[in-house]
Structure 1
Amino acid sequence: MADVQDATPGVPADLLDERLIQNEGLAGYAKVFWNRLRGGELGSLPVVVGLIAICVVFYAQDPRFLSSYTLVSMTQFAAPVGIISLGIVLVLLLGEIDLSVGSVSGFSAACMAVFVVDHGHSMFLGMLVGVAVGATIGLVYSLLYLKLGVPSFVFSLAGLLAFQGGLLYVLGDHGTINLPSDSGLVQFAKFGFVPDLLAYVIVAALVLASLGLQLVGRARRAKAGLSTGSLGLLLVRSALLAVGLLWLTSYLNVDRGWSYLWVLFAALVVVLDLLLRKTRWGRHLFAVGGNEEAARRSGIRVGRIYLTVFVGCSTLAAFGGLMSAGLLTSVSQSSGTTDTNLTAIAAAVIGGTSLFGGRGSAYAAMLGIIVLQAIQTGLNIVNVDSSVRFIVTGGVLLLAVAIDSVSRRARTSSGRG
């Protein structure tokens, strides 16, 4: 190795193999990208291609599909279930499942509504109660899994039924509880939209923060003697991201602009993504999801990972339920009991989170819920019966799982599994 280093002064340590040096530059980047696709590393490419196809088809049927009004409404109504789907991403990364997130969201919202409307407490305290209910449920789930060995499918299925009953019990004779229209939750979720100028500032700050983090990462790799990739390519990607987001912001501002609810969801996605990629907890979570026994033998506290994930999933489900209640301005016996479970789980899988554990990202929830909301909105615009939406959603979910299975076999055969 020393002879190789002496023969190639200035070459980063991870590129000493001349086959890796050939992967530098734009042509090398294209080669690496193609090799990853052949090896089953599809990333978010299938869902992006699918979303483009959906937009083309529905726009051809009715141009209103891509109007600013439709896009604003689409993002606003996608956010609550998207928040719930973030929790599903966490449990799927461990190779587990939670079938009760819809029921938990409705039950937590009902507890909040009764606490606020019937008992006269503030909305802030009511929301704390709702979130605490979700966290407690997640704690119980983790104890059932870790102490008694009950499979996640079983206790979450039991939770689905139990918390539907809990929703009916808490609401009692009310049936439906209307939230105060002047409450902070309703004003935020239903009527809150980012002012035009502030929206541009947020987008600019987001792009600059992303670029800054990547530059810091390059500096750390350079200090460690590792390759840093093309700075020009990094700057071009950041510029394209800035232009795309600024244009989209200006287009949405034709109507109401970005809703605060969607901005909150996007912020949660970014934070969770950073936690998964940049923290020890995130690395341990992926390790446990990839191979639990190997993770345990390497010293990872597996039980703590399961505890945080189940609590996090139920807490996000409760929080999503509260946001949904604020958006709809009420809690009813149907809250969280329709297709919330289906949509939240399907969004995570369609967005690219593997059902086999160990692969996925927070952005999977965002991409997946956009696809599902686009399908629902498009079918509503072209006046297709709601039964077709369930059929189409089921077909898209099956396709996503099939792609994941095929890519998983491709990764295994190429030694990337």
Structure 2
Amino acid sequence: MTADPGETPAGKAGAGTTDLTLDATVAAADVPPEILAQSLGQYMRASWLRIRSGNSGILPVLLAIVIVAVVFEIITPEHAYLRPSNLVYIFGLSTVYMVLAIAETIVLLLAEVDLSVGAVALIGGVIAFKLVQQPGPDWPWWAALLAALVICGGIGALQGALVALLRIPSFVVTLAGFLLFSGILIVILGGADSTVSLDTSIPNQNIIYDMVQGLIPPGFGWAILSTVVVVAGIVQLLRTFSRRRRGLTAPPLALIGIRIALLAIVGAAVVIICSVNRGSSLKSVTGIPWVIPIVLVVLGAWTLVLQRTRYGRYIYAIGGNPEAARRAGVSLPFIRIWAFALCSATAALGGILLGSFFLGQYSSNIADPGQLVLYTVAAAVIGGVSLFGGRGKAIHGVLGGLLIGGIAYGVTLLTLGSLSTPLQYILPGGVLLIAVLIDVSSRRGSGGVTRV
């Protein structure tokens, strides 16, 4: 394995420091700007050169989110798209796609694909719902959730073994898995028209219901936001000072300040939106959905795994060049099997959130595994995860999921009748095609795509 670029000596800062960002060849490589820059100005130049070389990061999806929000705000009746009640609904809907897109990202980074993620997610949700039924198994909610994650993780490990050990293309394995588990889902439900529901009067079941439907009081939300901002700032500063003491590169302090400020601004905007009364004159509804901090924990956990662990570096190495990774001693089968297992386990959590979003009810008529997998793959790729492997982060799945959720709900607000359903596929499909074209163009520009 090559050395982690983050472990490059920083050299002496000051007047004698060489501005590496002036070298377009170096800056155009897949190297984070903070590795090349020792001041905010150098960082901005390095970032701009990366964008010009085709590595635009999250900028395209952020631009797409803004465009979607502006367009739907203009064309929806009474300009209702950006009302707080609708925005909170979009948050809740999108979090399901966010978690599933993060799950898919893990596999896409290996240049593989998991088409069974929708069906496996629903199986995970139905298992959790079935295990807390009373009368019935009446498992504690945490045990039911853990069982769903473990069972779905085992399903993913089995599919990963077929891909890694028998060299069967992941497209074929997971497509077969999609069909197989879609049928098993109907069996678990007890029929094509059967349902499984949560009884919110039972505290054990109500906890799962509240994962999406539950609300955090605004005051508590401000306290959580303040804690997150302070902790994030302290962690980044301590890490920066630690790296500099060891003579390693570290991002400029001004950049850290900007990141913390942006975190505080975005978090404050979310809290303010969720604190607006979304109920009627007879019933006040305010608060932050519990699902938002849940998704942030998932995002933080997977960001830590992918960016700060050896396993995460191996995933990027295999996705970028599997042969080089193999020659460096990386166990490709082990990494791939665990990637599929973790993908399915994460998808199970998304399936549980989906049931909570549907007011604690599952049925084969409400939850469509086919639509879920289409939206999941689209969200990951639209967010910026490369289909060719080796490029992408968990945050890309989150942003892509937000875009997909925003488009899906925006179409329903238009009240187009029979055109609503087709447009929920057409619009994400068009955005997905644009995202793939951007990915292919950037790869060709950097010599990363080769057709044989």
Please say whether Structure 1 and Structure 2 have the same fold, judged by a TM-score greater than 0.5: yes
Paired residue total = 405
**Which residue type is aligned with residue 186 of structure 2?**
L
Q: Is the 8 A contact 1:12 1:226 kept in 2?
A: no
Q: In 2 relative to 1, CA 377–318 (structure 1 residues): closer, same or farther, beyond 3 Å?
A: same
Q: Is the 8 A contact 1:353 1:359 kept in 2?
A: yes
The Cα offsets for residues 257-313 of structure 1, whole Å up to 9 and x where unpaired, read as 321112201210111101111111111111111111111211222222112111001
Q: In 2 relative to 1, CA 86–24 (structure 1 residues): closer, same or farther, beyond 3 Å?
A: closer
How far is 1:195 from its partner? 1.4
Q: Is the 8 A contact 2:97 2:375 kept in 1?
A: yes
CA distance in 2, matches of 1:103, 1:78: 18
Q: In 2 relative to 1, CA 78–35 (structure 1 residues): closer, same or farther, beyond 3 Å?
A: same
Aligned to 1:151: 169
Q: Is the 8 A contact 1:138 1:313 kept in 2?
A: yes
> Aligned match of 2:407 in 361, 365, 375?
375
**Which residue type is aligned with residue 77 of structure 1?**
L
Aligned to 1:218: 240
The Cα offsets for residues 8-32 of structure 1, whole Å up to 9 and x where unpaired, read as x97249x854555896544433322
Q: Is the 8 A contact 2:165 2:333 kept in 1?
A: no
How far is 1:223 from its partner? 1.8
Describe how 1:224-235 pairs up with structure 2 within 5 A.
224-235=246-257
**Higher mean C-alpha deviation, range 111-120 or range 369-378:** 111-120
**Which residue type is aligned with residue 41 of structure 1?**
N
Aligned to 2:95: 79
Describe how 1:16-415 pairs up with structure 2 within 5 A.
17-20=18-21, 24-62=38-76, 63-117=79-133, 119-124=136-141, 125-173=143-191, 175-182=194-201, 183-255=205-277, 256-328=286-358, 329-334=360-365, 335-384=367-416, 385-412=420-447
The Cα offsets for residues 225-252 of structure 1, whole Å up to 9 and x where unpaired, read as 2443432332233223313321331222
CA distance in 2, matches of 1:106, 1:64: 32
Runs (4+) of structure 1 exceeding 4 A deviation are 18-24
Identity of aligned residues (%): 31
**Which residue type is aligned with residue 296 of structure 1?**
R
How far is 1:188 from its partner? 1.7
The Cα offsets for residues 191-212 of structure 1, whole Å up to 9 and x where unpaired, read as 3111112211222222223222
Q: What is the TM-score of this pair, normalised by structure 1?
A: 0.90
How far is 1:121 from its partner? 2.0
Q: Is the 8 A contact 1:38 1:410 kept in 2?
A: no
Aligned to 2:32: none
What's the secondary structure of 1:66's corresponding residue?
A: coil
Larger helix proportion, structure 1 or 2?
Answer: 1
CA distance in 1, matches of 2:443, 2:415: 38
Q: Is the 8 A contact 2:215 2:288 kept in 1?
A: yes
How far is 1:184 from its partner? 3.1
Q: Is the 8 A contact 1:93 1:285 kept in 2?
A: yes
Q: In 2 relative to 1, CA 102–336 (structure 1 residues): closer, same or farther, beyond 3 Å?
A: farther
CA distance in 2, matches of 1:49, 1:25: 26
**Which residue type is aligned with residue 12 of structure 2?**
V
Q: Is the 8 A contact 1:321 1:336 kept in 2?
A: no
What's the secondary structure of 1:331's corresponding residue?
A: strand
CA distance in 2, matches of 1:128, 1:393: 33
**Which residue type is aligned with residue 205 of structure 1?**
T
Unaligned 5+ segments in structure 2 are: 1-9, 24-36, 278-285
How far is 1:338 from its partner? 4.3
Q: Is the 8 A contact 1:97 1:153 kept in 2?
A: yes
CA distance in 2, matches of 1:376, 1:91: 25
The Cα offsets for residues 69-105 of structure 1, whole Å up to 9 and x where unpaired, read as 1111111122223212211000000000000111112
What's the secondary structure of 1:132's corresponding residue?
A: helix
**Higher mean C-alpha deviation, range 88-97 or range 177-186:** 177-186
Q: Is the 8 A contact 1:88 1:345 kept in 2?
A: yes
Q: In 2 relative to 1, CA 139–248 (structure 1 residues): closer, same or farther, beyond 3 Å?
A: closer
Q: In 2 relative to 1, CA 225–180 (structure 1 residues): closer, same or farther, beyond 3 Å?
A: same
How far is 1:131 from its partner? 2.0
CA distance in 2, matches of 1:21, 1:47: 28
Q: Is the 8 A contact 2:21 2:46 kept in 1?
A: no
How far is 1:355 from its partner? 0.3
Q: In 2 relative to 1, CA 345–18 (structure 1 residues): closer, same or farther, beyond 3 Å?
A: closer
Q: In 2 relative to 1, CA 375–140 (structure 1 residues): closer, same or farther, beyond 3 Å?
A: same
Q: Is the 8 A contact 1:284 1:300 kept in 2?
A: yes
Q: In 2 relative to 1, CA 305–60 (structure 1 residues): closer, same or farther, beyond 3 Å?
A: same
CA distance in 2, matches of 1:272, 1:400: 23
What's the secondary structure of 2:132's corresponding residue?
A: helix
**Higher mean C-alpha deviation, range 400-409 or range 18-27:** 18-27
CA distance in 2, matches of 1:110, 1:212: 41
CA distance in 2, matches of 1:75, 1:341: 19
**Higher mean C-alpha deviation, range 20-29 or range 292-301:** 20-29
CA-based RMSD: 2.4
Q: Is the 8 A contact 1:108 1:134 kept in 2?
A: yes
Q: In 2 relative to 1, CA 108–21 (structure 1 residues): closer, same or farther, beyond 3 Å?
A: closer
What's the secondary structure of 1:177's corresponding residue?
A: strand
**Which residue type is aligned with residue 287 of structure 1?**
A
Q: In 2 relative to 1, CA 140–237 (structure 1 residues): closer, same or farther, beyond 3 Å?
A: closer
Q: Is the 8 A contact 1:142 1:307 kept in 2?
A: yes
**Which residue type is aligned with residue 192 of structure 1?**
G
